[in-house]
Structure formats: C-alpha cells, structure tokens
C-alpha cells in the first residue's frame, strides 16, 4: 500500500528553476504540461511532477488554474512573494507542521530527522532525501516571519467569530468587550509589524 509521504518531487533541482520562470512569465489560464514544456522550457519527464506539487502547495487549482496564491507569489514585491510561498509551504506540508509548527526553522539535519520519524524510512533513503531537498528548495523562496506573526491574530479572530455566530440564544443580543495583549516579536523587519496591525485592523477592529 502506498505511503502518504510529505510532498516531494524526485527532480528537486528543477523546482527552483521552474519557480524562477513562473515569477517572470505571464500567468496562464491553465498551467498544463504543455505550458510547462513549451512556455517555461521544461519538457523533461522529471519536471512534470511539479504540477501535482504546485496543486498541493495551493498555487494551482485541481484543474491547473493558477490561484490567487500563485499570483501573489509572482508579485514583484519581495515581501508579498515570499509570504505567499510561506503560506503555500504550510498548505503542502500541513502534516509536517502538525508535528512541528516551526518546521521551517529546523536545520536540514533536524528536518531530515523529522521526516525519518514521520515516514519510518531509514536515514539516507532516496525518498527522504527528495522530501528534504524539495522542502529546502521551496523554503528558499519563502519568508515566514510575517506569516507566523499573523497566525495568532487570525486564530483569535476565528474564535471571536465562532462565538458571535453561536445560535443557542438567537433572541439575545450581547454587548461584548475584550482585551487583546500582543507580544510583539523581536525584529527590525517593519513588514512584520505592518502585517500584525493590518490584520488587527481588518479582522478585529472593523465594524
């Protein structure tokens, strides 16, 4: 029976090259094998595995249509592009992040150890190497600081939304007030703080 391993492609060297081409090429109506071969210049069989990977990442829909995340990745603003890839990685490797929510911060050796633990394969196995190399190739295009900063705020907003939608007492209108204490990360990256306060404004302070 086939194992449900974390996302990977065997031709890991192609991942970075394809992503670089995606950033400069026009967004297609559908990302097909023909587009990959003729427009991006990757006709080889090994590169074809990129499309299933891109679907797991959430860059492509099930029919190959580029998603909003795909378009955000192509954004010429580096912060937007890298944040999009960080979200894509968390989409594709949700099983890994269930084990370690800071998997992207692990060293290559520690990440390999996590993969060995999850898959039951031995260290040095070809599949383990492919999983690790694929993850590392994707991670080179990502920045997780802003995404990590947004997630706690989004979680708070979700809980508040769920409470507000509770229909146990449909005829009762409650006036609620709440206090949110933020522990800001130690960073000189202004984009992190911008992301935090933007999320507060958009998700919690709107009427």
In whole angstroms, how large is the CA radius of gyration of the chain?
20
39-59 as b/e: b if 16+ CB within 10 A:
ebebeeeebbbbbebbbbbbb
CA–CA gap between residue 81 and residue 95 (Å, rounded): 23
Instruction: Give the pLDDT confidence score for residue 183 in this predicted structure.
Output: 62
Nearest to 58 by CA among 108, 93, 110, 17: 93
Tell me the pLDDT band of 46, cut-offs 50, 70 and 90. Answer: confident
pLDDT tens-place string over residues 107-141: 999 999 999 999 999 999 999 999 999 999 999 99
CA–CA gap between residue 69 and residue 113 (Å, rounded): 30
Q: Rounded to 5 degrees, what are φ and ψ at 190?
A: -60, -30
194 has a pLDDT exceeding 60? yes
Q: Which residues contact 31 (CB under 8 A, 6 or more apart)?
A: 51, 54, 60, 64, 65, 66, 70
Instruction: Give the pLDDT confidence score for residue 175 in this predicted structure.
Output: 54
153 has a pLDDT exceeding 50? no
Instruction: Give the pLDDT confidence score for residue 197 in this predicted structure.
Output: 72
Instruction: Give how far the C-alpha of residue 196 lies from the chain's centroid of Cα atoms, to the nearest Å.
Output: 18
Identify whether the C-beta of residue 130 lies closer than 8 Å to the C-beta of residue 177. no
Tell me the pLDDT band of 4, cut-offs 50, 70 and 90. Answer: confident
CA–CA gap between residue 183 and residue 108 (Å, rounded): 29
Q: Is 129 exposed, middle or buried (0-12, 13-18, 19+ CB in 10 A)?
A: middle
Nearest to 138 by CA among 5, 25, 22: 22
User: What is the mean predicted confidence (pLDDT) over 36-59?
Assistant: 94
């Amino acid at each position: 029976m086939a194992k449900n391993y974390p996302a990977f492609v065997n031709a890991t060297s192609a991942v970075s090259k394809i992503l670089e081409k995606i950033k400069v090429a026009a967004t297609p109506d559908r990302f097909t094998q023909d587009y990959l071969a003729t427009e991006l210049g990757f006709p080889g069989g090994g590169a074809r595995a990129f499309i299933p990977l891109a679907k797991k990442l959430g860059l492509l829909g099930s029919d190959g249509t580029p998603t909003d995340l795909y378009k955000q990745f192509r954004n010429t603003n580096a912060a937007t592009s890298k944040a999009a890839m960080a979200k894509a990685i968390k989409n594709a490797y949700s099983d890994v992040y269930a084990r370690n929510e800071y998997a992207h911060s692990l060293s290559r050796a520690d990440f390999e150890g996590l993969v060995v633990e999850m898959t039951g394969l031995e260290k040095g196995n070809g599949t383990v190497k492919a999983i690790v190399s694929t993850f590392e190739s994707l991670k080179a295009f990502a920045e997780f600081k802003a995404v990590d900063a947004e997630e706690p705020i989004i979680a708070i907003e979700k809980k508040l939304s769920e409470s507000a939608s509770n229909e146990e007492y449909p005829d009762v209108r409650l006036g609620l007030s709440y206090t949110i204490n933020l522990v800001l990360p130690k960073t000189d990256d202004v984009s992190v703080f911008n992301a935090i306060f933007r999320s507060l404004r958009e998700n919690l302070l709107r009427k």
